[in-house]
Amino acid sequence: MNASGAVLFNAPTGADNGPEEWRAALTRLDPGVDFRVWPDTGPVAEIEFALVWRPEPGDLRRYPNLKAIFNLGAGVDALLKDASLPPAVPIVRLVDRGLTIGMTEYVLLHVLRYHRGLPEMEAQQRRREWMPRPYPLPWRRRVGILGLGVLGGDAAATLAGLGFDVAGWSRTPKALPGVKGFIGAAGLAPFLERSEILVCLLPLTAATAGILDAGAFAALPRGAAVINAARGGHVVEADLLAALDSGQVGHATLDVFAAEPPPSDHPFWTHPRVTMTPHVASLTVPETAAEGIVEGMRRARAGAALRHVVDLAQGY
């Protein structure tokens, strides 16, 4: 295998990108890139790197000279379901400034919507009702971010910068200016108890699946808003519906679902206090995402340590 093999692309065309956008973005940074679009792989021994999003289970085992797998999204939960992944090949998750900016925009959009009482004013408008509503100063609004990683950390820091009373929950301690840290299982209940607006930006792992269940909703202040921009598997949907119907959760913004799209008779579609978006909280942007991928390929070729390698024991 020489120093520059081929790059295999295997991902469905998304809302804003397909193979030609990726080819252009990679070529701009690495003009010599030998870019191949699955299933036209050419000889499998020539594939040095794979850029994938939900590839067919078993496919990644076919390339004997694979140096790294680049996941074209931040979450690797779908990829790790493939029990036949080549065990010695590192998996790099996506860290992309375009993805981070997009997620912080989404979190700000929905946190500010709840902070300023927009859902209530939209309901008033439908009733032709003119009723100005007060809203608290940002430092009297307690926002909680589940997950203080690349995405949760940026959203938390941005909200703290606007003056909100922000807390975050993570597995290991973090030091983010203006963000109160809550750690691990023992920190979850006190974190939830103070979260008037709760944002989920956790990876989906064995430890976090179903974390937003009846117990979690009961721990929130009554009428709290819940924003899930992570994975549908974090939410026990029946428990969320029950919490919405009892008023324990005031409103939910959901970008991700147990099944995507949810079946047409799913109660979320018509629930008056659910806002749905079709898994677009943040989209992978080839123009910016290619920067980290090309840098990763350079590092792998030089034998240097890769960044953002998935910890298989933790599942993220």
Contacting residues toward ligand NDP, per CB under 6 A:
73-75, 99, 103, 147-152, 169-172, 201-205, 207-208, 229-231, 255-256, 279, 281-282, 316
Q: Are 188 and 182 in contact (CB under 8 A)?
A: yes
- Answer whether 167's CB lies under 8 Å from 142's CB: yes
Inter-residue contact 219 to 193 (CB < 8 Å): yes
Catalytic residue among 279, 299, 307, 308: 279
Q: Which amino acid is at 269?
A: W
What residue number has its CB nearest to ligand NDP? Answer: 149
Q: Does 75 bind ligand OXD (CB under 6 A)?
A: yes
Q: Toward ligand OXD, which CB reaches closer, 228 or 248?
A: 228
In contact, 316 and 310? CB cutoff 8 Å: yes
68-76, 178-186, 259-267, 306-314 -> range binding ligand OXD (CB under 6 A): 68-76
Contacts of 80 (CB under 8 A, 6+ apart): 91, 310, 312, 315
- In the complex, the smallest distance separating the C-beta of residue 163 from ligand NDP, rounded to whole angstroms, is 23
Q: Contact at 8 Å (CB) between 252 and 61?
A: no
Tell whether residue 149 is a contact of ligand OXD (CB under 6 A).
Answer: no
Query: Which of the listed partners (ligand NDP, ligand OXD, none) does 316 bind, with a CB threshold of 5 to 8 Å by partner kind?
Result: ligand NDP
Binding mask 280-299 for ligand OXD (x = CB under 6 A): ----x---------------
In whole angstroms, how far apart are CA 166 and each of 22, 160, 196, 224? 36, 6, 10, 15
CA distance 183 to 168: 8
Decide whether 34 or 77 has the Cβ nearer to ligand OXD: 77
Nearest to 40 by CA among 2, 10, 1, 84: 10
Cβ 229 to ligand OXD shortest distance, Å: 9
State yes or no: residue 107 binds ligand OXD (CB under 6 A): no
Smallest gap, in angstroms, from Cβ of residue 169 to ligand NDP? 6
Q: How many CA atoms lie within 13 A of 180 on its CB side?
A: 17
Q: Is 231 a catalytic residue?
A: yes
Of the pair 36, 194, the CB lying nearest ligand NDP is at 194
Question: Which secondary structure element, helix H or strand E, spans residue 244, and what is its range?
Answer: helix 237-246
Q: Which listed range, 35-43, 69-77, 134-142, 262-270, lies at the site for ligand OXD (CB under 6 A)?
A: 69-77
Kindly state the smallest distance separating residue 215's Cβ from ligand NDP, in Å.
Answer: 15
Which of 142, 231, 234, 251 is the catalytic position? 231
Least Cβ distance, residue 179 to ligand NDP (angstroms): 11
Angle subtended at Cα 224 by Cα 220 and Cα 228, rounded to the nearest 5 degrees: 90
74 binds ligand OXD (CB under 6 A): yes
Tokens of 72: 């074209």
DSSP structure class, residue 63: -
Tell me whether residue 266 is exposed, middle or buried, using C-beta atoms within 10 angstroms of its C-beta: 0 to 12, 13 to 18, 19 or more. middle
Of these partners, ligand NDP, ligand OXD, none, which one is at the site of residue 98 (CB under 5 to 8 Å by kind)?
none
Decide: is 147 part of the binding site for ligand OXD (CB under 6 A): no
Using only the alpha carbons of the chain, give its radius of gyration.
21
**In which residue are the tokens 């240097």 written?**
304
Nearer to ligand OXD, 75 or 152 (CB): 75
Identify which of residues 5 and 102 has a Cβ nearer to ligand NDP in the complex: 102
- Chain residues binding ligand OXD by CB under 6 A are 73-75, 94, 284
User: Which residues are tagged catalytic?
Assistant: 231, 279
